[in-house]
């Protein structure tokens, strides 16, 4: 049993002042809206029930991952948005920080992402890097028609056919819609191994489907433990009582701060393992809530790195911010301690024998205090330890919180009509033929 805890002490002052909302009542309504499937976008609630750990889908993902691990130096993962960020976040949170450069530690393929940008330099240099290596490909697109991954896949497919000839298809795994879309049609005609993104799970809620699970399993992550963590979270956060549900408290209290003029939320972490997780979180909340001219703007900072850059703005800029700190209680590597140095030229001898984790923790506590003094409310989400189980729990925590928060904001948390605007213009400029 994981003990995730949401500490709201550093936000209580703001939550208790000004107009008071009956959050218990509003949350109960939002809870029923999700669990009875009566709200806007209710066709997209498939993520509420995580995949069966012993089911066929998970077993097929594991079998494919085993093949990839056995015959590949490199796995290329092609996707963007919800078909990209979750897998990358999971891998960065749960594997060695330098896994791609560290074969002995990795015991599996290097994993690289492509199709999440249109940079010719990035793509060219990735091809340079994989020259001479054995490669497998996981191309992921729910719609099967998104420009960036489709373009990348065209290039990668040519590269694969050039290298493996007719056998290229045996190394290509496609994760897409069960029936429709260009990627489905192509996969069926080329005989690729395919995995399905369920109709009732939107891209940004899909990390715990084959979208995220196959790349993570290929990277050596225990996805069964991850799914067990998600199931645990499902149980823990199925309680409609606000007082007993920290996920709902987070959803409600961020809305409380929003109503009190705090329009920007910074997701804060003290470990670079969370950098891409923050990107995943930003898509989840940004696409779910930013509509009808409403929504908290989701941003992120990495501390202590950004305390030396954005710290100034957070401390003294406009007071429209609040922070949600992700804190890992058992960060690991407590053995790394500050050494004693003759002469103490850098003045650090007062820390001799203290662990780096201890120093990081004091930085967190000191920052929490400073930002409160600077009128920035803080929530702290305590994660017991970064394990596959807990990361499954964490993904679920934010997915559930986002759905509830979206309903509290009175928007549809499951659509993203706004992202079409740039695409329309881009297609016009590119001269895309209309069908
Ligand atoms: O999986 P795909 O259909 O390729 O979509 C990838 C991403 O791009 C779209 O433009 C949406 O804004 C995202 O919600 C989605 O996750």
Q: What distance lies between CA 90 and its chain's CA centroid?
A: 7
Question: pLDDT value at position 138?
Answer: 98
pLDDT band at 3 (very low <50, low <70, confident <90, very high): confident
CA distance 38 to 53: 28
Q: Which of 9, 423, 424, 432 is catalytic?
A: 423
Average confidence (pLDDT) over 162-185 = 97
CA distance 261 to 91: 36
- Average pLDDT score over the chain: 97
- pTM for this one? 0.98
Identical fold, 5-40+227-418 and 47-223: yes
- Beta bridge partners, 382, equal 5, 327
Question: pLDDT value at position 2?
Answer: 61
Other CB atoms within 10 Å distance of the CB of residue 191: 10
Report residue 36 as tokens.
Answer: 């009875």
Pocket lining for ligand 1, CB < 6 angstroms: 80-83, 141-143, 146, 149, 203-204, 287, 416, 419
Would residue 423 show up in a list of annotated catalytic residues for this protein?
yes
Q: Which CATH superfamily is domain 5-40+227-418 in?
A: Glucose-6-phosphate isomerase like protein; domain 1 (3.40.50.10490)
Q: How far does residue 82's CA lie from ligand 1's centre (Å)?
A: 6
Q: Where are the domains of the chain?
A: 5-40+227-418, 47-223
Tens digits of per-residue pLDDT, 182-191?
999 999 999 9
Question: pLDDT value at position 211?
Answer: 98
C-alpha torsion 271→276→282→287, nearest 10: -160
CA distance 53 to 70: 23
Q: How far does residue 80's CA lie from ligand 1's centre (Å)?
A: 6
Cα–Cα nearest to 87, from 270, 95, 135: 95
Ligand 1 atom at minimal distance to the Cα of residue 204: 16
Q: Is the pLDDT of residue 225 over 70?
A: yes
What CATH code would you report for 47-223? 3.40.50.10490
CA distance 409 to 28: 14
CA distance 339 to 356: 10
Q: Which of 287, 289, 323, 399 is catalytic?
A: 287
Q: How far does residue 91's CA lie from ligand 1's centre (Å)?
A: 20
Q: Is the pLDDT of residue 321 over 60?
A: yes
Would residue 375 show up in a list of annotated catalytic residues for this protein?
no
Burial class (CB in 10 A: 0-12, 13-18, 19+), 13: exposed
Residue with tokens 């992550």: 221
Q: Is the pLDDT of residue 435 over 90?
A: no
């Amino acid at each position: 049993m994981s003990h995730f805890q949401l500490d709201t002490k550093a936000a209580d002052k703001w939550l208790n002042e000004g107009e008071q909302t009956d959050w218990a009542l509003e949350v109960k309504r939002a809870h029923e809206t999700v669990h009875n499937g009566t709200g806007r976008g209710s066709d997209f609630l498939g993520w509420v029930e995580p995949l069966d750990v012993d089911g066929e889908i998970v077993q097929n993902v594991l079998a494919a991952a085993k093949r990839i691990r056995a015959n590949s130096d490199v796995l290329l993962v092609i996707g963007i948005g919800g078909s990209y960020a979750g897998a990358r976040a999971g891998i960065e949170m749960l594997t060695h920080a330098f896994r791609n450069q560290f074969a002995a530690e990795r015991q599996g393929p290097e994993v690289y992402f492509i199709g999440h940008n249109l940079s010719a330099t990035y793509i060219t240099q990735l091809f340079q890097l994989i020259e001479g290596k054995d490669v497998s490909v996981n191309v992921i697109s729910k719609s099967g028609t998104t420009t960036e991954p489709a373009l990348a896949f065209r290039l990668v497919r040519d590269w694969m056919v050039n290298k493996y000839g007719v056998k290229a298809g045996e190394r290509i795994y496609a994760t897409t819609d069960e029936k429709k879309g260009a990627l489905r049609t192509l996969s069926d005609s080329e005989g690729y191994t395919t995995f399905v993104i369920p109709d009732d799970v939107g891209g940004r809620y899909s990390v715990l489907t084959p979208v995220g699970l196959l790349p993570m399993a290929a990277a050596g992550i225990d996805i069964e433990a991850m799914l067990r963590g998600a199931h645990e979270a499902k149980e823990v956060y199925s309680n409609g009582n606000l007082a007993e549900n920290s996920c709902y408290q987070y959803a409600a209290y961020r809305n409380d701060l929003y109503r009190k003029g705090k329009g920007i939320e910074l997701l804060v972490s003290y470990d670079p393992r969370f950098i891409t997780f923050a990107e995943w979180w930003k898509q989840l909340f940004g696409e779910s809530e930013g509509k009808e001219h409403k929504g908290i703007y989701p941003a992120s900072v990495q501390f202590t790195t950004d305390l030396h850059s954005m710290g100034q703005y957070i401390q003294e800029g406009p007071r429209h911010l609040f922070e949600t700190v992700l804190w890992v209680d058992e960060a690991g590597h407590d053995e790394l301690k500050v050494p004693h140095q003759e002469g103490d030229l850098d003045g650090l001898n007062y820390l001799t024998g203290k662990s780096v984790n201890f120093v990081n923790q004091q930085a967190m506590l000191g920052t929490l205090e400073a930002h409160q003094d600077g009128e920035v409310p803080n929530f702290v989400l305590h994660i017991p330890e970064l394990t596959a189980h807990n990361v499954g729990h964490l993904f679920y925590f934010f997915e559930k919180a986002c759905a509830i928060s979206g309903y509290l904001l009175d928007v549809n948390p499951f659509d993203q009509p706004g992202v079409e605007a740039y695409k329309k213009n881009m297609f016009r400029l590119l001269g895309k033929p209309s069908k």
